[in-house]
């Protein structure tokens, strides 16, 4: 063909197809959906962090206008509705399973955090439901509460669950303790460092929403929900909570406005509206309000850690010991237990050839909102701990922080590299990403910039973070052996239509990632179909085979690989059809980007010729090949993928106000093969925005009684455009060695690599003040406190 078209395949910075509808307000989110006869639900939530429910009087509320029904926990318990299940079981050091207390969808006898749902009101309008919810009288007896991670384990602390003595969920470890102790015994220096990883509220732009719908004639339930993984919700809710067979339960997750992990989990409200729809025989919509989301969406992070690094006399790492306390909140959210264990401690080797590591993690219950995976999930916590520790150790050992890192890097010739904490990294080149970042950030010229800032009364600092993460989750057998109660393969169906356009069904779910574009590019690249003729279908269990959804930067590495495998099947079948049509041997048929050719000849058939023949099989080897051109592949990855790289941040601090400004940020990431560079840049920048948010701005603050002090945007500092620099993003590619696309994933790298780069810069800016460490977030008040204390000491 001589027609020149713009290249749309792998490597093209194609504009996002989905943005045309998003930017014009034409997206279809759950709250945009209205079912005939729809009613509205409002959750009555606990104002107490911890209390017994002595009595709930709903009589007055039931009599109010428009009220269809009011349900409390006992109503669900009476029908043997199950608790909200946890999808991952961790085992203690002694082999016993973790404490896994019941998590009722509506509180039963006790509330355990502010926001714990106590009753649901269903009414003709939302306003009527709210009015009625206010008329419900709940007699509580407040109990002492515990909110702090360390406080939860103190003797005499209030007990969150009878089934979890001492508030301990689990006491877990990984690594070789004896080897670690031996390594420390011969160390020239041991550097100890303690830090807290601040609790965050995800705050997706779209609040959660759910519509339960029940067809009394067919007995079919439908749940429309803001989910990153509708099949997982169908499995968990159908099998464990409501006992509805899959064939009778459809879960639809349409356009979803951001997730960052917080929309992975099965939430109580989903089960409540689905179950209640069957009771009232009307569709029920629930849409979370922003202030409600602060106290009901799973939070992120919240670790308290101590780390010790053993060095030899030359500054080579001999071993690492880590002790971490992780706050689970009041109940176990779906994947909460794996976050501070297998998504965290397994990353503690970082990019360094650390010979031995021993880590212990205790997870605790508190009277706070449940904590679960949030963009990066465990890996930001590990990276922050390790990369701050590297700076502290370099300073104490009198080593240059870049040279210290380089000296301990895993070298390119060491891949595949087996860490002492279970993971085997397949590829990477940490020296290369470091060198690129140092160059791009003009690391060498920093002292000049620092002096210039000082002349203007500002404190300038530079910080570096070299990191690796594990994503593309995950090999099902491996995670199963570690306690996962689900598989983590992905599915893709390629449906080539008679005239050659393509519909892709994927179990991955797009909630901002640009799948409709990236996945279309995979098809364009391999099958030669223009992206305009490729539609991506996701988010509906009635349309898509059982898939696992999107989180852990898995969509491309796992879901894309499934599509690639399915396209291989399409090509293989197409070659057989083409061989028949061209009267050639199938071994002689080649395929490249839309054209089947008899090797060494000018005889060709287009994909469209083949698809038409497949669906109109007049001249067709019907005895040998089935009609149709549609293939499905399930892909289970052989390993995690390991993106990594180097982030460099430069900050300036105004010592008079304590305000920190990020003036420069450079990211050089290795995310494997890049399909759409523009989307990768956007993903990395978005992750860095959240990383800067964690480092400088965001903190979920509870008081000792369990009240959330940062319960709205008036007190929870979300990063805004003006808080962010123009982030320079570059990539350096080493291919993933075990998936067919060579891709690693880019969704989380920004949030993982950036916080320590920012905080290392903040500490560097304060270097003349003798500051060893600053806890996140580095708020103006906190920085001023440091500056002021120094000033007082100097006087």
Interface with other proteins, residue 656, by CB under 8 A: yes
User: How many residues line the site for other proteins (CB under 8 A)?
Assistant: 25
Between 36 and 722, name the residue whose CB sits nearer to other proteins.
722
Question: What pairs with residue 122 in β-bridges?
Answer: 41, 69
Beta carbon nearer to other proteins, 78 or 721: 721
Kindly state the smallest distance separating residue 160's Cβ from other proteins, in Å: 24
Element at 740 (helix H, strand E)? none
Coil, helix or strand at residue 427: coil
Q: Which stretch binds other proteins (CB under 8 A): 192-200, 227-235, 487-495, 714-722?
A: 714-722
User: CA separation (Å) from 529 to 18, 533, 627?
Assistant: 18, 7, 21
Looking at the Cβ atoms of 206 and 372, the one nearer to other proteins is: 206
Q: How far is the CB of 778 from other proteins (least distance, A)?
A: 11
Smallest distance from other proteins to CB 454, Å: 18
End-to-end CA, the chain:
80
User: Residue 105 Cβ, how far from other proteins at the closest point, in Å?
Assistant: 25
With CB under 8 A as the contact rule, which of the stretches 427-435, 437-445, 544-552, 657-665 interacts with other proteins?
A: 657-665
β-pair type (659-670, 534-537)? unpaired
Question: Do 743 and 560 meet the contact criterion of CB atoms below 8 Å apart?
Answer: yes
How far apart CA 679 and CA 688 sit, in angstroms, is 14
Output the CA–CA distances (angstroms, integers) from residue 47 to 114, 286, 331, 705, 725, in the order listed: 5, 20, 17, 11, 39
Interaction between residue 785 and other proteins (CB under 8 A): yes
Min separation Cβ 15 and other proteins, Å: 26
Helices then strands, each counted (H, E), the chain: 19, 28
CA dihedral sign, ordered 603, 605, 610, 616: negative
Q: Is the peptide bond before 467 cis (omega within 30 degrees of 0)?
A: no
For residue 425, the minimal CB distance to other proteins (Å) is 38
Encoded one letter per residue, x for contact with other proteins by CB under 8 A and - for no contact, window 740-779 reads ---------------------------------------x
Alpha helices by DSSP H, listed for 170-305, are 177-185, 230-235, 268-280, 290-294
Which residues between 261 and 300 bind other proteins (CB under 8 A)?
291
Which residues ranging from 314 to 343 are in contact with other proteins (CB under 8 A)? none
d(CA 446, CA 463): 11
Tokens 């005499």 label which residue?
156
Q: How far is the CB of 791 from other proteins (least distance, A)?
A: 10
Where is 689: in which H helix or E strand?
A: helix 677-692
Interface with other proteins (CB under 8 A), residue from 717, 724, 725, 771 = 717
3-state secondary structure of 172: strand
Query: DSSP assignment of 482-496, as one string?
Result: TTBSS---EEEEEEE
- Does residue 125 belong to the site contacting other proteins (CB under 8 A)? no
d(CA 320, CA 311): 9
Cα gap 396→759, rounded to integer Å: 17
Rank residues 503 and 710 by Cβ distance to other proteins and give the closer one.
710
Spatial neighbors of 36 by CB under 8 A, at least 6 apart, are: 283
Considering only the stretches 169-177, 188-196, 413-421, 711-719, report the one whose residues sit in contact with other proteins under the rule CB under 8 A.
Answer: 711-719
Tell me how far, at minimum, the Cβ of 262 lies from other proteins, in Å. 19
Least distance CB 696 / other proteins (angstroms): 9
Query: Which stretches of 132-230 are assigned E, i.e. beta strand?
Result: 137-142, 168-175, 189-197, 209-215, 220-225
Q: Closest distance between other proteins and the C-beta of residue 710, in Å?
A: 7
Q: Which stretch binds other proteins (CB under 8 A): 87-95, 293-301, 365-373, 713-721?
A: 713-721
Contact assessment for residue 783 and residue 658, using Cβ atoms and an 8 Å cutoff: yes
- Residue 198 lies near other proteins (rule: CB under 8 A): no
Q: Which stretch binds other proteins (CB under 8 A): 78-86, 320-328, 371-379, 781-789?
A: 781-789
* Closest approach of other proteins to the CB of residue 417, in Å: 41
Nearer to other proteins, 167 or 779 (CB): 779
Q: Cβ(712)–Cβ(774) under 8 Å?
A: no
Residue of the chain from 179, 187, 353, 701 that contacts other proteins (CB under 8 A): 701
Check binding of 790 to other proteins (CB under 8 A): no
Rounded CA Rg of the chain: 28
710 binds other proteins (CB under 8 A): yes
Which stretch, 123-131, 162-170, 347-355, 547-555, contacts other proteins (CB under 8 A)?
A: 123-131
Are the C-beta atoms of 107 and 43 separated by less than 8 Å?
no
Among the listed ranges 28-36, 78-86, 277-285, 780-788, the one in contact with other proteins (CB under 8 A) is: 780-788
Chain CA centroid to CA 785, Å: 34
* Of the residues 523, 633, 697, 730, which one makes contact with other proteins according to CB under 8 A: 697
Q: Which of 125, 622, 715, 772 binds other proteins (CB under 8 A)?
A: 715
Specify the DSSP element, H or E, that contains 481.
Answer: helix 476-481
Pairing of strands 220-225, 303-311: unpaired
Q: Based on CB atoms, which residue is closest to other proteins, 296 or 354?
A: 296
789 near other proteins, judged by CB under 8 A: no
Q: Smallest gap, in angstroms, from Cβ of residue 780 to other proteins?
A: 6
Tell me whether residue 127 or residue 185 sits nearer to other proteins (CB atom).
127
- The residue (of 644 and 658) whose beta carbon lies closer to other proteins is 658
Query: Does 163 engage in binding with other proteins (CB under 8 A)?
Result: no
According to the binding rule CB under 8 A, does residue 626 interact with other proteins? no
E strands, 366-453, where?
417-418, 424-425
Q: Which of 657, 704, 772, 789 binds other proteins (CB under 8 A)?
A: 657
Q: Does 716 bind other proteins (CB under 8 A)?
A: yes
Nearer to other proteins among residue 141 and residue 657 (C-beta): 657
CB distance 385 to 301 below 8 Å: no
Nearest to 671 by CA among 538, 518, 562, 526: 518
Residues that bind other proteins (CB under 8 A): 127, 130-131, 134, 291, 656-659, 697, 701, 709-710, 713-718, 779-781, 784-785, 788
């Amino acid at each position: 063909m001589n027609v020149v078209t713009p290249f749309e395949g792998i490597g093209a910075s194609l504009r996002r197809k989905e943005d045309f509808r998003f930017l014009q307000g034409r997206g279809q989110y759950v709250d945009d959906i209205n079912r005939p006869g729809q009613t509205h639900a409002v959750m009555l939530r606990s104002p107490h962090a911890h209390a017994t429910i002595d009595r709930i009087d709903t009589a007055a509320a039931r009599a109010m206008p428009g009220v269809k029904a009011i349900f409390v926990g006992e109503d669900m318990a009476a029908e043997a509705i199950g608790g909200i299940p946890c999808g991952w079981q961790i085992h203690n050091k002694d082999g016993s399973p973790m404490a896994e207390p019941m998590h009722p969808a509506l509180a039963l006898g006790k509330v355990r955090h502010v926001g714990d749902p106590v009753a649901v009101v269903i009414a003709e309008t939302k306003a009527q439901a709210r009015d009625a919810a206010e008329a419900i009288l709940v007699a509580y007896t407040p109990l002492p509460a515990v909110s702090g991670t360390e406080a939860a384990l103190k003797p005499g602390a209030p007990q969150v669950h009878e089934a979890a003595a001492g508030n301990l969920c689990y006491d877990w470890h990984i690594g070789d303790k004896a080897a670690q102790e031996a390594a420390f015994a011969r160390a020239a220096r041991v550097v100890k460092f303690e830090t807290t990883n601040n609790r965050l509220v995800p705050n997706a732009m779209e609040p959660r929403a759910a519509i339960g719908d029940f067809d009394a004639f067919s007995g079919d339930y439908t749940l429309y929900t803001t989910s990153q993984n509708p099949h997982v919700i169908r499995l968990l809710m159908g099998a464990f909570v409501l006992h509805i067979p899959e064939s009778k339960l459809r879960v639809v997750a349409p356009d979803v406005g951001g997730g960052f992990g917080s929309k992975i989990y099965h939430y109580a409200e989903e089960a409540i509206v689905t179950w209640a729809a069957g009771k009232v025989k009307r569709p029920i919509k629930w849409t979370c309000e922003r202030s409600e989301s602060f106290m009901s969406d799973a939070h992120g992070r919240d670790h308290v850690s101590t780390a010790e690094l053993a060095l030899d006399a030359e500054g080579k790492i001999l071993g690492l010991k880590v002790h971490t306390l992780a706050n689970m909140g009041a109940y176990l959210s779906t994947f909460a237990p794996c976050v501070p264990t297998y998504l965290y401690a397994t990353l503690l080797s970082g990019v360094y050839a650390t010979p031995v590591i021993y880590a212990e993690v205790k997870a605790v219950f508190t009277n706070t909102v449940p904590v679960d995976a949030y963009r990066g999930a465990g890996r930001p916590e590990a990276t922050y701990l390790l990369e701050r520790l590297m700076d502290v150790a370099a300073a104490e050992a009198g080593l240059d922080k870049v040279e210290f890192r380089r000296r301990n890097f895993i070298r390119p010739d060491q891949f595949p590299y087996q860490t002492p904490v279970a993971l085997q990294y397949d590829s990477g080149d940490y020296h290369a990403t470091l060198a690129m970042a140092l160059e791009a950030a003009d690391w060498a010229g920093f002292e000049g910039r620092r002096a210039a800032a000082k002349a203007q009364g500002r404190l300038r600092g530079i910080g570096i973070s070299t990191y690796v993460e594990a994503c593309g989750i995950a090999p099902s057998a491996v995670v199963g052996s570690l306690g996962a109660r689900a598989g983590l393969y992905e599915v893709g169906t390629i449906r080539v239509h008679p005239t050659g356009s393509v519909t892709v069904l994927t179990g991955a779910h797009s909630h901002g990632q640009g799948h409709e574009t990236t996945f279309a590019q995979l098809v364009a690249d391999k099958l030669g179909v223009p992206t305009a003729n490729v539609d991506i279908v996701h988010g509906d269990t009635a349309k898509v085979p059982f898939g696992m959804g999107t989180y852990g930067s898995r969509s491309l590495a796992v879901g894309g690989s499934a599509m690639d495998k399915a396209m291989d099947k399409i090509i293989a079948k197409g070659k057989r059809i083409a061989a028949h049509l061209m009267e050639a041997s199938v071994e002689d048929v080649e395929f490249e980007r839309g054209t089947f050719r008899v090797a060494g000849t000018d005889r060709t058939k287009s994909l469209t010729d083949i698809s038409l023949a497949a669906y109109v099989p007049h001249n067709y080897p019907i005895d040998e090949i089935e009609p149709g051109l549609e293939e499905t592949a399930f892909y289970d990855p052989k390993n995690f993928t390991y993106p990594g790289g180097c982030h460099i941040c430069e900050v300036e601090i105004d010592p008079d106000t304590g305000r920190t400004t990020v003036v420069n940020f450079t990211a050089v990431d290795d995310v494997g093969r890049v399909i759409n560079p523009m989307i990768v840049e956007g993903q990395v920048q978005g992750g860095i925005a959240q990383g800067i948010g964690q480092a400088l701005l965001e903190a979920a603050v509870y008081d000792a009684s369990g009240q959330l002090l940062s319960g709205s945007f008036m007190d929870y500092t979300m990063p805004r455009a003006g808080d962010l620099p123009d982030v320079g993003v570059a990539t350096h590619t080493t291919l993933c060695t075990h998936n067919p696309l060579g891709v690693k994933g880019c969704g989380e790298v920004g949030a993982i690599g950036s916080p320590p780069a920012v905080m290392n810069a903040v500490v560097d800016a304060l270097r003349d003040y003798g500051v060893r460490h600053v806890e996140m977030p580095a708020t103006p008040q906190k920085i001023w406190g440091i500056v002021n204390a120094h000033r007082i000491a100097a006087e």
